[in-house]
A and B are shown apart, each in its own frame.
Chain A
C-alpha cells in the first residue's frame, strides 16, 4: 500500500478534456446559466488556475467537471473526458469510484469542511478504506505518512483529535492530506486559501505546489485572486459570467493580457510600489445576473472600451498566439483601447 503514495505518476499527455460544458440551474426565477459552454483541456501534471470574481461560475465549473453537483433541477450539457472516459454519462456509483481516488477536491473553508463529530484519523482513513480496501492498521500507517508529508506536527496525536481542536491552517493541511490519500491524478482546489490568514496562505499554496510536483499530479486551482495563481500555475483561465474570456500560459497572461476584464482584475491587485493611501482600483458594477445575461459581450456593461458592437455581437474566443485565446472586440492594445486610454489621460501605446 505504501508503494502507492510514493509511486509517482509518469504519464504524460491529456488527462482531462472538457468540451462545451454547460451547467444551468432551474430556479423559481428562471434558468441560471452558471457555466455556459466551456472548453479546455488539462495535461498530466499541469497546474491550471481558474480566475474570476465571485459568482462568475468558477466553483460550479470545477464541481461540474467532477460531477459533484446534484442532478435535480440541473441541466447539464457537453462532455468531460477523463483519461478517455466520459464522466457526464457515468452512473453515480461509478463516479464515486473516481471521486477521492482519481480526482480529489479541497475546499474554501477548512473550518466547515471537516466532519465536526468524527475523529481526524477516521476521516483521513476513509478514502483509503473505501477505494483501496485498506485494513484499519494499514490505513493508519499511510495516514501517518501523509500527515508528515503535509507538515503536521505530532501526527499520532492528531488521529485522535477532532477538527475543532486544530487551527485553520492545520485543518487545510488535513484536507490536503485527505485529498492526497489515494494518489489522485488531479486535485481540484476551490479557493483553498481564501479563509486562511495571509501568513498561512503562502505555506498552503507552497505545500500544494510541492505535492503536485512530487506526485506529478495535475491541479485545478480556483480563485478570485490573481496573486494566488501567478506563482503557482502553468496556465490560467479567466472566467466571466459562466464563460471563458481569456486563456493563456501564466507568464503570457501577465505580460500580454488581451481581455479588458483580465486587465481590470490585474489593476485591482494592490501594488507595493504605490504610495500608501492610494485609492484601490475596483471594477465598477457587479457580475451580471446569469438568468438573463447582457446581450453581446457579457462584460460590456462594465467595460470602459464598450462600443455598439460589444453590446450587439458576442465575441468568440480568438487566438492571439498559439495557446493564448481571448474573447474581445477591443482587446488591450487595439485602436479603441488606445483611444480610451488617451481620453482617460493614461499613457498611450500598448503595454
Chain B
C-alpha cells in the first residue's frame, strides 16, 4: 500500500510539472498573438472577434492566472476550437485518438505475439541456428527506418498484388470486420515488426540470464519438462525489460506514429499534432501534449504496480 501511494504521489507531481510547462509554453512563443491571428485566416477577422479570441486564451493574464485557466479548461473539457475552421479541438483529438489507440493496440499485440515465442525458442537453444537466424532478422528490422518498411510493404501489397488498400480508411471493426482488417493490416505490420524485433532481443537476453539461474537447475532436477521450465519458471522473472519497453511504447505509439499514419494516410493523433504545429494550432498541440503526458504517466504507474506482481520482492521493497 505504501508502494502504491508513493507511485501515486510521483504521478501527481509529473502531471503538475507537465501542465505547468505546457501552459507557460504558449506565452514563450515569440509573436504568439500574430501567429494565432495568421492561423485564423487572412484578415477576415474584426477587432471584436480578435480580442475575444485572445481573451479566451488568457494570453494577457499573469502566469499563475493563465495556468489556473488552462487547468480549468482542461478539467471541464472546454478545450475550445481550432483557430482555422473552428472545429472543436475535443472532436479532433478524439478522432485522432481512436485511430492511434487502435493502431497501438494492434501493433503491440502482434509484436508481443511474435516476440515472446521467438525469444523463448532462441533463448532455449542459445547460440543455435534458430537463435542466430532470428537475431540476424531482428537486427534487420531494428535498423530499418519505418518509412522504408512502409514503402516496401506498400509497394508489394498494394501496388503489385493489390491485396490491401494503399490509403487506409478508418472503418470501424463493427461496421465491417473484413474491411477493418484490410485497412489496418499494413500500418499495423509496419509498426509491429520493428517493435517485435526489439522486444524479442530484450526478452531473449533476460531469458538467457534467467535460464542460467540456480532455480532453473532445481526445476530441471525435479523433472519439470522443457515447456513448463520455459513458461512456468523462466518467463515471468524475465519480463521486466519487456514490460518496461512495451509500456514506454504505448505512449510513443499513440503520439508518435507520424510516419506510419502519414504513409497510410490515417489521421491519427501523431499526424494531427505535427500538422497542428506547422499550422500554429497552439491550443490543439497544448491539449495533445497534456493528454500524451497523461497516457505516459498512467502507463508508467500501471507498470510500477505490475512489477510488484511480476516479482513479489518488489512489493516487499527489497528491489527497485
Give me the interface of A with B, judged by CB distance under 8 Å.
Answer: 66, 68, 72, 92-93, 96-101, 104-105, 107, 109, 112-118, 126-127, 130-131, 162, 164-165, 175, 178
A-B residue pairs in contact (CB < 8 Å), sample of 17: A96-B224, A96-B225, A99-B221, A99-B222, A99-B223, A100-B221, A100-B222, A100-B223, A100-B224, A105-B218, A107-B218, A116-B311, A130-B222, A130-B224, A130-B225, A162-B313, A164-B312
Among B45-53, B187-195, B209-217, the stretch in contact with A: B209-217
User: Min CB distance, B273 to chain A, in Å?
Assistant: 40
B215 touches A115 (CB 8 A): yes
Q: Give Cα A92 to B311, complex, Å.
A: 30
Q: Interface digits, B294-320 against A, CB 8 Å rule (1 contact, 0 not)?
A: 000000000000000011110010100
A164 touches B316 (CB 8 A): yes
CB of B145 within 8 Å of the partner chain: no
CB of B247 within 8 Å of the partner chain: no
A112 touches B213 (CB 8 A): yes
A162-B312, A164-B316 are known contacts. Are A68 and B222 too (CB-CB below 8 A)? no
Q: How large is the interface on B (under 10, 10 to 19, 20 to 34, 35 or more residues)?
A: 20 to 34
Give me the interface of B with A, judged by CB distance under 8 Å.
Answer: 127, 213-215, 217-226, 228, 233, 236-237, 310-313, 316, 318
Q: Give Cα A96 to B229, complex, Å.
A: 12
Q: Give Cα A116 to B234, complex, Å.
A: 11
A164-B312, A164-B318 are known contacts. Are A116 and B225 too (CB-CB below 8 A)? no
Query: Which 6 pairs from chain A and chain B are nearest by CB?
Result: A100-B223, A100-B222, A99-B223, A112-B214, A105-B221, A115-B215
B218 touches A117 (CB 8 A): no
B318 touches A104 (CB 8 A): no
Q: Give Cα A92 to B228, complex, Å.
A: 14
Contacts of A130 in B (CB 8 A): 222-225, 228
Contacts of B312 in A (CB 8 A): 116-117, 162, 164
User: Min CB distance, A5 to chain B, in Å?
Assistant: 16
User: Min CB distance, B72 to chain A, in Å?
Assistant: 46
Residue on A nearest B127 in the bound complex, by CB: A72
User: Min CB distance, B174 to chain A, in Å?
Assistant: 39
Q: Give Cα A127 to B223, complex, Å.
A: 7
User: Min CB distance, B47 to chain A, in Å?
Assistant: 68
Residue on B nearest A111 in the bound complex, by CB: B214
B215 touches A96 (CB 8 A): no
Q: Give Cα A131 to B226, complex, Å.
A: 15
User: Min CB distance, A54 to chain B, in Å?
Assistant: 17
Residue on B nearest A162 in the bound complex, by CB: B312
Residue on A nearest B128 in the bound complex, by CB: A72
User: Min CB distance, B316 to chain A, in Å?
Assistant: 7
B223 touches A116 (CB 8 A): no
B311 touches A117 (CB 8 A): yes
A107-B214, A113-B215, A162-B312 are known contacts. Are A68 and B318 too (CB-CB below 8 A)? no
B215 touches A126 (CB 8 A): no
B223 touches A109 (CB 8 A): no
User: Min CB distance, B53 to chain A, in Å?
Assistant: 57
A107 touches B217 (CB 8 A): yes
User: Min CB distance, A196 to chain B, in Å?
Assistant: 15
Contacts of B219 in A (CB 8 A): 115, 126
A101 touches B236 (CB 8 A): no
Q: Give Cα A86 to B127, complex, Å.
A: 30
B223 touches A98 (CB 8 A): yes
A68-B217, A109-B214, A164-B318 are known contacts. Are A115 and B233 too (CB-CB below 8 A)? yes
Contacts of B310 in A (CB 8 A): 117
User: Min CB distance, A180 to chain B, in Å?
Assistant: 12
User: Min CB distance, B212 to chain A, in Å?
Assistant: 11
B214 touches A113 (CB 8 A): yes
User: Min CB distance, B238 to chain A, in Å?
Assistant: 10
Q: Give Cα A93 to B228, complex, Å.
A: 13
Contacts of B318 in A (CB 8 A): 164
Contacts of A118 in B (CB 8 A): 233
B217 touches A126 (CB 8 A): no
B222 touches A113 (CB 8 A): no
Contacts of B236 in A (CB 8 A): 117
Kindly name the residue among B127, B221, B225, B228 whose own CB sees the greatest number of chain A CB atoms within 10 A: B221
Residue on A nearest B229 in the bound complex, by CB: A96
User: Min CB distance, A15 to chain B, in Å?
Assistant: 18
Query: Which of A92, A97, A98, A175 lies in contact with B218, CB distance below 8 A?
Result: A175
User: Min CB distance, B121 to chain A, in Å?
Assistant: 15
A114-B215, A116-B311, A117-B237 are known contacts. Are A97 and B220 too (CB-CB below 8 A)? no
Can you name 18 extra interface pairs (CB under 8 A) apart from A114-B215, A114-B218? A66-B221, A68-B217, A68-B220, A98-B223, A99-B221, A99-B222, A99-B223, A100-B223, A101-B223, A107-B217, A113-B215, A113-B217, A113-B218, A115-B218, A115-B233, A126-B219, A127-B222, A130-B224
Residue on B nearest A105 in the bound complex, by CB: B221
B313 touches A116 (CB 8 A): yes
Contacts of A117 in B (CB 8 A): 236-237, 310-312
User: Min CB distance, B311 to chain A, in Å?
Assistant: 5
Q: Give Cα A107 to B222, complex, Å.
A: 12
Contacts of A109 in B (CB 8 A): 214
A96 touches B214 (CB 8 A): no
B313 touches A164 (CB 8 A): yes
Q: Give Cα A66 to B223, complex, Å.
A: 11
Q: Give Cα A68 to B219, complex, Å.
A: 11
Residue on A nearest B221 in the bound complex, by CB: A105
Q: Give Cα A164 to B312, complex, Å.
A: 9
Residue on B nearest A96 in the bound complex, by CB: B223
Residue on A nearest B314 in the bound complex, by CB: A117
Q: Give Cα A126 to B217, complex, Å.
A: 14
Contacts of A114 in B (CB 8 A): 215, 218
